[in-house]
Chain A
Amino acid sequence: MARYLAIRIGRAALTIVLVVTFAFVVLRLSGDPALMILGPEAPPEVLAAFRKAWGLDDPIWFQYLDYFGAIAKGELGRSMRDGRPAIELVLERIPATLALTLPAFVFKVALGVPAGIYAALHRGSAIDRAVMMTAVAGFTVPSFVLALILVLVFAVQLGWLPSGGQDSWRHAILPIATLSLGGAAVLARFTRSAMLEVLGQPYIRTASAKGVPWRKVVTSHALPNAAIPTVTILGFMVGTLIAGAVVVESVFAWPGVGRLLVVAVANRDLAVVQCILLLVAITMVTSNLIVDFLYGFLDPRLRAKGAHA
């Protein structure tokens, strides 16, 4: 088990290093921060001084080693725009993002999972078809389109809710709704198919054949099995809590991590982008690790394999 753990954690660390490296290289090759921040009209000597100050004229491998050296000391660099530590800029945006993504996560699960289970149990019924049609719509409509539709209906036409900003809890309703609907659709589809797969298994018939009432067949025989694939998608959703609202934050002018990321990328504010990507990679990898361990908890067959690995 210890070896299994060590391999998992080692793999997770490698993933993070790869993500950070990739971001580092791409960002540096795709534009000059000096030009982006100072503007094309800035005099050449000012640009040169800026590059020198931020170490941008060093060879890229040198910058890369420098960057990792700093990370090892716990320094994630400073924003090129206002000189503040990047980590500070990012951390102060996280509460705003979580204020959207956490409630949205709860709604996704509370809506999507029961809808999927219900649809599977009443396969072919009018409600099943309605749930699936809604789910397909929620699945295929991009979040910015959904966001604009919600704004059009609830802000412009009905005037019930503000169309953007962060002044009160009412401002959070439309962004949360946008995030929830799309996620609930994905979860409903996924839960439904996981549930249908399980309900077709011989052990479900065995349970019925030994006289277990149907309600209990569903709760104690089908659900624990259907939970295994559903946990995968839930884990993925937990991984997107930090930076899963880029589009929605932009549409609703919500000052969260997603908006910060968009602005920082546009400005090639390298330290800030890298800091966000590092955080995203860490949350993704951590949620994946948690999912792996949950698998072991939910599925005794994997537990055995893990123990032998």
Chain B
Amino acid sequence: MSPLVSIRDLRVAFSGVPVLRGVDLTLGKGEALGLVGESGSGKSVTWLAALGLLPRHARVSGSARLDGRELLGAPASQLDQVRGGRVAMIFQDPASALNPVLTIRRQLSEALALHRNLSGEAAKAEARRLLDLVGIPDAARRLEAYPHEFSGGQVQRIMIAMALAGNPDLLIADEPTTALDATIQAQILELLSTIRREMNMAMVLISHDLGVVAENCDRVAVMYAGRIVEQAPSNQLFADPVHPYAQGLIGALPPLDGPRRRLVAIPGTVPDPAHMPVGCAFAPRCAMAAEACGVSAPKLAPIADDRAVACIRAEASRRALLGIAAE
């Protein structure tokens, strides 16, 4: 089966400073992919770049294909069809993500007019249906309200409704719950999973919260300093992370069962994008770094059918994890 999205060697630089340093990623139809990593690791930039949503001073190179059609450098008219129509995106801060001076109806109808050719009463009826679908009570009346009249969780629901308006094949949820209370978070994630299943839609869940990703995604890609360092099915990544950075992330999570143990923090900080180390970007913080790690950056290489990792010490790291002494 051909992938829905295929990203090859995607690179982005802001005023000469590289922030995305060669990302390769594929996404199947209907698949839920989690993208985790610290702030600034390039999770959002990957998708903003693919959809042409970065500011003009960003330099983007590489390839991002949707159903085999190249998106990078595509004409604006083609991108406008893709954005909201085939690939929808929701963002972190719902409070500022909706236009404060336009009614919810206008903002929903806009997407319906662009991608479904609906207008007038038909658009209004569909907008109401979408609000019902995402669980906004009293949808008919609330259509005429403005964003400030809703709570943060409700606005995120409206954002989801707006994203669904174009019947997209892929929803990119960029930290959709970071700005919300814990209880609302769970509700929004539940809503996203339900909708994804019902509409058979692919989803990319961008988050720095490993727990959120583990529960909601089939597969996870871990990003560090503008690259993907490990990709694996969710259960395998959490059970058996191979890249030292992924191990560090998971080691920093409190275990739900078993004896209490000390949480381990990853020492050091993310390197400054303007002064990246020559070799592996994680080497300066890596307990297992060898001399070779400082020489060249490791490529993302398959270690099993559905797993890939970018670490020259992958084998050693695996052994260390399993408690097998290196020969």
Contact = CB atoms under 8 A, between A and B. Distances in A.
Interface of A: 124, 201-203, 205-214, 220-221, 224-225, 228, 298-301, 304
Contacts of B102: 220-221, 224
Nearest to A225: B101
B53 interface: yes
24 contacts: A202-B96, A203-B100, A206-B162, A209-B51, A209-B53, A209-B84, A209-B88, A209-B89, A209-B91, A210-B110, A210-B111, A210-B114, A210-B162, A211-B83, A211-B114, A212-B84, A212-B110, A213-B77, A221-B99, A225-B99, A298-B101, A299-B101, A300-B146, A300-B148
Given A209-B83, A209-B84, A214-B76, A203 B162 contact: no
A221 B102 CA distance: 8
B83 to A, nearest CB: 4
A32 B321 CA distance: 97
B29 to A, nearest CB: 20
Nearest to A200: B55
Interface string B108-149: 001100110000000000000000000000000000001011
B100 A300 contact: yes
Contacts of A208: 53, 83
B38 interface: no
A213 to B, nearest CB: 5
B80 A213 contact: yes
B250 interface: no
> Quick one: which of B53, B100, B148 has the most chain A CB within 10 A?
B100
Contacts of B80: 211-213
Interface class of chain A by DSSP: helix
B100 to A, nearest CB: 6
> Quick one: which of A203, A212, A220 has the most chain B CB within 10 A?
A203
B98 interface: yes
Contacts of A210: 83-84, 88, 110-111, 114, 162-163, 165-166
B114 A301 contact: no
Contacts of A207: 99, 110
A86 B51 CA distance: 68
B76 A213 contact: yes
B260 to A, nearest CB: 41
| List of 9 A-B pairs having minimum Cβ-Cβ separation, nearest first | A211-B84, A210-B84, A211-B83, A300-B146, A209-B89, A203-B99, A202-B96, A211-B80, A210-B111
Contacts of B101: 224-225, 228, 298-300
> Quick one: which of A201, A206, A208, A301 has the most chain B CB within 10 A?
A206
> Quick one: which of B89, B99, B110 has the most chain A CB within 10 A?
B99
A228 B100 CA distance: 12
Interface in B77-93: 77, 80-85, 88-89, 91, 93
A203 B148 contact: no
Interface residues of B, number: 34
A202 B91 contact: yes
Contacts of A221: 99, 102
Interface string B14-57: 00000000000000000000000000000000000001010001
Nearest to A213: B80
B159 interface: yes
Nearest to B111: A210
B186 interface: no
B115 to A, nearest CB: 6
B292 interface: no
B93 to A, nearest CB: 6
B166 A211 contact: yes
B149 A304 contact: yes
B263 interface: no
Nearest to A227: B101
B278 interface: no
A226 B97 CA distance: 16
Contacts of B148: 300-301, 304
Contacts of A298: 101
A207 B53 CA distance: 10
A211 B81 contact: yes
Nearest to B145: A300
A206 B97 contact: yes
A196 to B, nearest CB: 12
B83 A203 contact: no
A98 B162 CA distance: 49
A212 B100 contact: no
A206 B91 contact: yes
Contacts of A124: 57
Contacts of B53: 205, 208-209
